[in-house]
Amino acid sequence: MPGTNHFSDVTLLITHYNRSRSLERLLESFNNLQMSFKEIIVSDDASQPEHLNHLKLIQERLAFRLLTTEKNKGLANNINKGQDAVTTPYILYVQEDFVPMPIFIDTFKNAVDIIEKRKDIDVIRFWAYVQYPYLKPIGNGFSEMIFNLWKPGYRKFYLYSDAPHLKRNNFLQKFGRYTEGIGSDKAEYLMMMNFLRKKGKGAIHENVHSLLKHQNSDDEPSTVPRNFLGQSSGFIVANVRHLYRHLKFNFDYLFRG
């Protein structure tokens, strides 16, 4: 049955791989907040049998549609597959290792109101490692992200991210499908560049760490390997990384479209 806070024009899309307990926790968190959606779609990327069995065990209780595949094809395919199945105007995309906080309810209502009224906004973001650097407030705790190639720094390129967000159903038609057969970080990067080149517009919450908690457990750690040089905060490595990204992002945006 619909929760107290029912979003009839929104599908909750969750990509999943070998973290069925984390997914169960996420869905139960939405239930505890009395949030419900037109449909919940769980797009699975050929998880191991024990995780698939657990998903099927909790499927009736937590009411979601499970999309499976016989072969692991990567996150890009998993997102494409899941979004192809959506029939509602809007999609709330969340990966299985997040947990919504109580503040998320009213914030999400505001986000739906914004995307309904602002036809030019394609994406509204709820979480980020670092806040977007150039913002124009639009009310209710949200700001429009302003991309200008000539502003300093490389973080201006991060207008789009796979982190939890609300988007329109026509996203893949407007910006292209996720590139399959490559690593998840590379696929996200290419989508980010497509989003920028095709003049996508997005908004983001003013406090990107207040709405959802990114929560990995020892039993179900992250399934995405991270490169040491891409994550290290050491002074020399960090500065070399920043310079490399600044040069690469500008070059790719200008010459590899």
Return the closest-CA partner of residue 91 out of 12, 31, 163: 12
Mean pLDDT value across residues 89-102: 96
Could you tell me if residue 236 is inside a domain? no
Residue 228 has pLDDT above 80, yes or no: no
What is the maximal distance between C-alpha atoms in the chain?
Answer: 55
Query: What's phi and psi for 135, nearest 5 deg?
Result: -130, 145
CB within 8 Å of 187: residues ≥ 6 apart = 74, 75, 76, 178, 179, 180
Rounded CA-CA distance 33/153 in Å is 38
Return the closest-CA partner of residue 17 out of 85, 77, 99, 86: 77
Q: Which amino acid is residue 49, in one-letter code? A: P
Query: What's phi and psi for 244, nearest 5 deg?
Result: -60, -45
Give the relative orientation of helices 184-197 and 235-255 as an angle to the nearest 10 degrees.
50
pLDDT of residue 241: 75
Contact 188, 165 (CB under 8 A): no
Q: In the predicted model, what is the mean pLDDT of the chain?
A: 92
Lowest-pLDDT range, 175-184, 201-210, 221-230? Answer: 221-230
Rounded CA-CA distance 181/73 in Å is 7
Contact 136, 204 (CB under 8 A): no
Domain count, the chain: 1
Could you tell me if residue 118 is inside a domain? yes
Mean pLDDT value across residues 50-61: 95
Return the closest-CA partner of residue 220 out of 64, 28, 43, 20: 20
Could you tell me if residue 248 is inside a domain? no
Could you tell me if residue 193 is inside a domain? yes
What pTM was computed for the model? 0.91
Query: What's phi and psi for 47, nearest 5 deg?
Result: -65, 165
Could you tell me if residue 239 is inside a domain? no
Could you tell me if residue 257 is inside a domain? no
Could you tell me if residue 242 is inside a domain? no
Residue 237 has pLDDT above 90, yes or no: no
Contact 32, 62 (CB under 8 A): no
Rounded CA-CA distance 7/23 in Å is 20
DSSP state of 198: T
Rounded CA-CA distance 93/223 in Å is 18
pLDDT of residue 162: 96
Q: Greater confidence, 200 or 231?
A: 200
Residue 231 has pLDDT above 60, yes or no: no
pLDDT above 90 covers a percentage of the chain that reads 84
pLDDT digits (tens, 9 = 90+) for 100-131: 999 999 999 999 999 999 999 999 999 999 99
pLDDT of residue 4: 84
> Which residues constitute the domain of residue 122?
5-225
DSSP state of 155: G
pLDDT of residue 243: 80
Contact 131, 212 (CB under 8 A): no
pLDDT band for position 246 (50/70/90)? Answer: confident
Mean pLDDT value across residues 54-60: 94
pLDDT digits (tens, 9 = 90+) for 140-189: 999 999 999 999 999 999 999 999 999 999 999 999 999 999 999 999 99
Mean pLDDT value across residues 17-32: 96
Residue 245 has pLDDT above 70, yes or no: yes
Which CATH number belongs to the domain containing residue 131 in this structure?
3.90.550.10
3-state secondary structure of 67: strand
The strand pairing partners of 123, in sequence order, are 167, 202
pLDDT of residue 219: 66
Record the tokens describing residue 254, joined without a space.
Answer: 């200008």
pLDDT of residue 56: 94
